[in-house]
């Protein structure tokens, strides 16, 4: 493998234990970082605006909560885990006035730095620790003595020690137990956006919904269609996760494997690949970022409409009924927040 991967032995937890860390935002990633850093012996303060819904949760979980500006003022390391669209204003109003030489500004995703929405002063370290998984899984893995692999990147190394500090932070949230891979803000941002749009979220959700629609529109029972197009996807993805596509193909029947090999490329064909290339182009040119920032500033009209349409899709109602019959679906990964 050509990438640099760092493990627990490559990281000095003492570095982050010697700093005060402000975790700004207490959602999916924020709660996971803050609780795991605290459990790793790090002095953590949470930054949340007055009136934030997340304040009560952080306080219930034993954390001290102040405003983002107060947190940034008292901390040496400021990890920004607010929504990407909120970060530019948050930075300008609350973080930038409280930065000073020797401080470090950390991110869980490179969006705002990659697209120039935040431009930190040269005297601070700018680094990223980006777990490659949802925050609730990051926390659960840490609590189970394991970790979710993460990406680490340094955009600005004012202290000369930014990578060591980022690795120390990654160790504090369990990331170096699994492995921390060195990357850049650009690579993390562009690949993360592409993955979530074309494959993991956008691609997978559209594939599942479309398969469900084709079966139900042809008269098959929604319950049966749900099992075939959504429920069993986890079982198939678990096999891929354990041993790649090869292990999945080893485990399924010959009939399924022949169908996979002969029909899969007809579903995901050259047109789909060309569309994926276009999506990547929009990410690299900044077109997607400009569109998303403008959508957010306009009050998210399309986002809200598409969200509502997704929630009203018949597959959701069928799924709610069927999951009630599945006693083993009893530990949702969102239970840590
Ligand atoms: N979700 C994930 O698993 C992953 C996320 N990331 C990145 O992590 C970052 C955080 O994302 P995610 O955890 O999903 O975010 P969430 O939407 O889950 O949580 C955002 C948190 O920030 C708070 N918040 C909202 N506005 C502000 C503000 N102006 N100032 C301070 N806090 C604010 C919210 O409080 P309130 O309750 O009041 O809304 C909430 O606590 C993003 O950069 C994202 O790209 C990276 C990898 C995976
Ligand atoms: C796949 C979605 C993600 O990129 C993630 C959990 O890694 C996100 O931004 O939430
Ligand atoms: Mg991601
Ligand atoms: Mg993402």
DSSP structure string for 178-199: H-EEEE-HHHHHHHHHHIIIII
Q: Is the predicted ipTM greater than 0.85, yes or no?
A: yes
DSSP structure string for 108-157: SS-HHHHTTS----TTSEEEEEEESS-HHHHHHHHHTT----EEEEEEE-
- Residue closest by Cα to atom 4 of ligand 1: 134
Give the tokens for residue 313.
């899709």
Query: pLDDT value at position 202?
Result: 98
Q: How many helices (H) and strands (E) does the chain have?
A: 18, 9
Pairing of strands 5-6, 180-183: antiparallel
Distance 191 CA to ligand 2 centre (A): 11
CB neighbours of 22 closer than 8 A, spacing ≥ 6? Answer: 44, 45, 46, 47, 68, 71, 72, 74, 75, 77, 78, 79
CATH architecture label of 5-183: 3-Layer(aba) Sandwich (3.40)
Cα distance between residue 284 and residue 191, in whole Å: 10
Query: pLDDT value at position 330?
Result: 59
Of 81, 137, 283, the one to substitute when testing ligand 1's pocket (max ligand atoms within 8 A of C-beta) is: 81
Cα distance between residue 92 and residue 76, in whole Å: 18
CA dist list (Å): 96 to 2, 69, 89: 36, 9, 10
CB burial of residue 299 (10 Å; 0-12, 13-18, 19+): exposed
Q: How many CB atoms lie within 10 A of CB 86?
A: 16
pTM, two decimal places: 0.94
- SS3 state at 223: helix
Q: What digits encode the pLDDT tens for the residues 141-159?
A: 999 999 999 999 999 999 9
- How large is the average pLDDT for residues 315-323? 96
Distance 309 CA to ligand 1 centre (A): 23
Q: What digits encode the pLDDT tens for the residues 89-119?
A: 999 999 999 999 999 999 999 999 999 999 9
Adjacent-strand bridge partners of 152: 129, 182
Pairing of strands 150-156, 125-131: antiparallel
Q: Which residues line ligand 1 (CB under 6 A)?
A: 24-30, 48-49, 52-54, 68, 81-84, 86, 90, 108-109, 130-131, 134-135
If you count them, how many residues does the chain have?
337
Is residue 33 part of the annotated active site? The answer reads no
Name the catalytic one among 109, 136, 231, 313: 109
Domain map of the chain by residue range? 5-183, 200-268+300-335
Cα distance between residue 283 and residue 276, in whole Å: 11
Q: What digits encode the pLDDT tens for the residues 41-58?
A: 999 999 999 999 999 999
Which pLDDT band, with edges at 50, 70 and 90, does 336 fall under?
Answer: low
Binding residues for Mg(2+), by number, are 192, 196, 228, 232
H or E stretch covering 98: none
Query: pLDDT value at position 181?
Result: 98
Ligand 2 atom at minimum distance from 192 CA? 4
Cα distance between residue 75 and residue 279, in whole Å: 38
Q: Which residues line ligand 2 (CB under 6 A)?
A: 134, 192, 196, 200-201
Query: pLDDT value at position 325?
Result: 84
Cα distance between residue 210 and residue 292, in whole Å: 25
Cα of 238 vs its chain's centroid, Å: 19
- How large is the average pLDDT for residues 228-247? 97
């Amino acid at each position: 493998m050509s990438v640099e991967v760092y493990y627990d032995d490559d990281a000095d937890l003492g570095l982050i234990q010697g700093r005060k860390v402000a975790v700004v935002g207490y959602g999916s990633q924020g709660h996971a970082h803050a609780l795991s850093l605290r459990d790793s012996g790090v002095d953590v303060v949470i930054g949340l605006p007055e009136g934030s819904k997340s304040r009560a949760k952080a306080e219930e979980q034993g954390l001290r909560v102040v405003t983002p500006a107060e947190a940034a003022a008292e901390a040496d390391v400021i990890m920004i885990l607010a929504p990407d669209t909120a970060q530019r204003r948050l930075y300008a109003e609350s973080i930038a006035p409280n930065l000073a030489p020797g401080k470090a500004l950390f991110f869980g995703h490179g969006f705002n730095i990659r697209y120039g929405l935040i431009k930190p002063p040269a005297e601070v370290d700018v680094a990223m620790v980006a777990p490659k998984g949802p925050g609730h899984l990051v926390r659960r893995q840490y609590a189970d003595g394991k970790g979710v692999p993460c990406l680490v990147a340094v955009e600005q190394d004012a202290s000369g020690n930014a990578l060591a500090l980022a690795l120390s932070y990654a160790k504090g949230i369990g990331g170096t137990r699994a492995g921390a891979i060195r990357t850049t803000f650009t690579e993390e941002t562009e690949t993360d956006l592409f993955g979530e749009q074309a494959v993991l979220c956008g691609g997978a959700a559209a594939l599942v919904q479309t398969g469900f629609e084709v079966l139900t529109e042809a008269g098959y029972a929604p319950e049966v269609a749900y099992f075939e197009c959504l429920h069993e996807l986890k079982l198939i993805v678990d096999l891929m996760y354990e041993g790649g596509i090869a292990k999945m193909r080893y485990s399924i029947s010959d009939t399924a494997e022949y169908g996979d090999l002969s029909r899969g490329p007809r579903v995901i064909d050259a047109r789909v690949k060309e569309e994926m290339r276009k999506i990547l182009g929009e990410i690299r040119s900044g077109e997607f970022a400009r569109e998303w920032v403008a959508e957010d500033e306009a009050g998210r009209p399309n986002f809200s409409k598409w969200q509502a349409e997704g929630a009203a899709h018949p597959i959701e109602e069928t799924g709610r009924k069927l999951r009630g019959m599945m006693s083993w679906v009893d530990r949702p990964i969102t239970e840590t927040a």
